Structure 1
Amino acid sequence: MAYAAVLTAGLFRGSVCSQAALSRAIPRALRHLTLTSIMKSKRKTDHLEKTANAVRQEVVSAAKVCGIANESPTVKRLRLLVADQDFSFKAGQWVDFFIPGVSVVGGFSICSSPGLLEQERVIELAVKYTNHPPALWIHNQCALDSEVAVRVGGEFFFDPQPAAAAGNLVLIAGGVGINPLLSILRHSADLLRERADTGRGWETGTITLLYSAKNTSELLFKKNILDLVNEFPKKIACSFHVTKQTTQISAELKPYITEGRITEKEIRDHISRETLFYICGPPPMTDFFSKLLENSHVPREHICFEKWW
């Protein structure tokens, strides 16, 4: 069966990547993954060293770039067709990102849902421009049909079982910290659709996204998020925050925008015994909100955060 890159409003430049062609690419891609590049990175601040104690899958799978888009002026989004049928992930997890010829290993959260992988063998990543070699490669050298390899890791994920009690989700994102939370939001929407279609699966409560960025151009995936809000108006809500907005806010975004940071009151308003909190953003933001929740007597097992970069 052939898999084609999905074209989204002309953003993605798609290529057709067949399963057979990708299977032939596996040996070529993996030949470039030396023991040095898999086991360590050059600098102490690199991804593999920061996540040395994190749980990882054993599968290292070849993948091919089959879509590239500019998500914002500083963030590039990739679609990767993944070859290995044993490759899987849970919403919120990240990948080790191996690039032929680049000794430093990247670490990027998956922003797509597990459902997209199941249906199309595709995952999506959104990578901010930095001087880190893997991010530089993605922004300056990556092209359609580029061959890479990926391996799943991380304990920050949302994977409710069908028999789990109904509960609410509050997702708190800052900047590119939206990536794993978007995966969780998309997975939650998949569960809502499954429940509506079959009457089975996890019974979701309400899902609230509180998302802060410098300005509206740096609010990633705005359309994707608002499409889900409009699809499930009684279940999914979002509040966008901008901290350094200098231009006029568009009419379609204005109802969802607050100028200023996410406040303590907003967080406290969502506290209940049935609510799980997922936080991902700059470390000071993550520290602040996780401590606020602890001090508000939210059980620690109801506070999940990602802070490895």
Structure 2
Amino acid sequence: MRVPGILISTLRSFSLPTPGAGLVRTRMLGSFTRCMSSKRKMDHLERTASNYRQNALYPAEVCGMINESETVKRLRIAVHPDFSFKAGQWVDFFIPGMETVGGFSMCSNPGLLQREGVIELAVKYTTHPPAHWIHTMCALGSRVDLRVGGNFFFDPSPAEPSVDLLLVAGGVGINPLYSILLHSSDLLRLNRTAGGQGYNIGSVHICYSAKNIQELLFKHSIIEVCQEFPDKFSCGFHVTQSTDVDQHLQPFVNCGRITPAELQAHVDPKRTLCYLCGPPPMIEAFSQTLMDLGLPKDRILFEKWW
């Protein structure tokens, strides 16, 4: 995936040191914490303390920046050759000289990392120190350290039976789901190249809600994927504030929130695997709706972002 107009720095002389003595060791726990609630706002490391984390802390360098919307900045980051992640995972984001550690989901997919040696993060502006640094101080050439974590991912093997994916996103919760969407399309291309002997990819439908059209991130790229594979991929965008919609987007945009009826149209209790990402109230409401529609609890996976 290439980002039109993104500012790319020269990487010919750029090399990242090999992780060695600087490796950070953490506990690696397999259980995913489904209920995380507290009156005190926890930071990223507290919220994800029980999540899986890789052992290594990798150096990285910002090599591209673009304004994805008025409030969201997308970074392209060159990473160490040993860096790897699964579609849907996040990184602990360490900024030199800053005590607070950020937590941001990759919006790019593993295929981009394999092809170009980079990952991408789309970060919404807030006063939280890491996000504030990204929007006000980060520049081409800025160095950071990254550590991959998260139990929320899509990483099928060729031998697994196909599933139908239902991806439901609110706001910047689109990031890991966009990664999963792009990864699914990459696997489908591999499958077609292999003459149907590769990955078993079912249907993929993405329901995405944001405040307005401008805050619907990656909308044009999502539509392009759906148009490339019209028999497999589909999307429905929702805006909660009335706004003018470009003619190109009109067939895909609905005014108002995601409805149970739209979810029901894409739920098969035996085939559907649903990934949810967004604010906690949205996750809780849709989890209950999906269970009411007959989708088993163990087929509803979610990531809550505050």
Q: Say whether the fold is shared (TM-score over 0.5).
A: yes
Alignment partner of 1:164 is 2:160? yes
Matched with 2:228 is 231
Structure-2 separation of matches of 1:308 and 1:243:
19
Q: Deviation of residue 64 (structure 1)?
A: 0.4
Alignment partner of 1:259 is 2:255? yes
Alignment length (residue pairs): 289
Q: TM-score, normalised by structure 1?
A: 0.89
Q: Deviation of residue 44 (structure 1)?
A: 5.6
Alignment of 1:50-199 (within 5 A): 50-83=47-80, 85-199=81-195
Q: Deviation of residue 86 (structure 1)?
A: 2.5
Q: TM-score, normalised by structure 2?
A: 0.90
Paired residues of 1:95 and 1:150 also in contact (CA < 8 A)? yes
Deviations 1:98-140 (A, max 9, x none): 0001110000000101111111111000000000000000000
Matched with 1:212 is 209
Structure-2 separation of matches of 1:229 and 1:268:
20
Deviations 1:158-217 (A, max 9, x none): 011101112211100000000000000000000010011113322111100000000000
Matched with 1:48 is 45
Q: Gaps (5+ residues) in structure 1?
A: 1-5, 36-42
Segment of structure 1 superposing worse, 200-209 or 57-66 = 200-209
Matched with 1:8 is 3
Change (3 A) 1:24 1:204: closer
Structure-2 separation of matches of 1:266 and 1:183:
22
Matched with 1:293 is 290
Q: Deviation of residue 68 (structure 1)?
A: 0.2
Matched with 1:39 is none
Matched with 1:22 is 15
Structure-2 separation of matches of 1:14 and 1:291:
44
Structure-2 separation of matches of 1:171 and 1:289:
11
Paired residues of 2:91 and 2:104 also in contact (CA < 8 A)? yes
Q: Secondary structure at the match of 2:295?
A: coil
Paired residues of 1:65 and 1:145 also in contact (CA < 8 A)? yes
Bigger helix share: 1
Matched with 1:275 is 272
Matched with 1:240 is 237
RMSD: 2.0
Q: Deviation of residue 308 (structure 1)?
A: 4.5
Structure-1 separation of matches of 2:283 and 2:2:
34
Q: Deviation of residue 16 (structure 1)?
A: 1.8
Q: Deviation of residue 257 (structure 1)?
A: 0.5
Q: Gaps (5+ residues) in structure 2?
A: 27-39
Percent identity of the aligned residues?
54
